[in-house]
Homo-oligomer: A and B are copies of this chain.
Amino acid sequence: MTIGEYIATNVDSNFPLDGVLPFKTKEQYFKKGSMVTDYGETEKYIYFLKSGVVEMTLLHNEEEKIFEFFFHSSFFCAYTSFLNQKPSDIRIRCLGDCIIDIIEREAMLAAYETSLVANKLGRIVTEQLFLIRSKREKDFMTKSAEMRYTELLKCRPELFKLVPLYKIASYLGIHPESLSRIRKDIS
């Protein structure tokens, strides 16, 4: 999916599929394992993942924990750093080869000044990101690891095809052995 198709599908059905975007984009190819944004960098871009998978991690006592995964046709960046322009506590890395459209922060902010469609897009993408964070926080407060696993399996089955199990365990906040036990118990 292109950004134009994303807008036509999720933001404004009147937007032509080949319509002119209110900001410049630059397509870039990232090899598997390469870094998009590293810890301590200040985020200067928004990214649209055309193909591939990226992971977001954060550090706790030198252990890397998985914060989120993003798949094709989604916007992502170290958004807290993008918004407050402080060094990122998040690292973004490509789990496979990725094709990514890059939007400069300054171009996005300029579009936000005057463009209705840019603001709709920013609002709707941020709503989606809010829903993800809010659900995850609530899940950690109220659900067991087993419940979180079965829900993930049901709601995001593609994760299990694209991401190794030890990373899914980290995302669920449990040890890989606990995930193996849960999977064994369920099957």
Contacts and interface: CB of A to CB of B under 8 A. Distances in A.
A123 B112 contact: yes
A33 interface: no
A142 B83 contact: no
In the complex this chain forms, how many copies of it are found?
A: 2
Interface residues of A, number: 32
A60 B142 contact: yes
A122 interface: yes
A148 B123 CA distance: 29
Interface stretch (A47-55, A131-139, A149-157, A175-183): A131-139
Contact of A122 (B58, B114, B123, B135): B123
A79 interface: yes
Contacts of A122: 119, 123
Interface string A47-84: 00000000000111000010100000000000110011
A126 interface: yes
Q: Which 5 A-B pairs have the closest CB atoms?
A: A119-B119, A123-B123, A133-B133, A60-B142, A126-B126
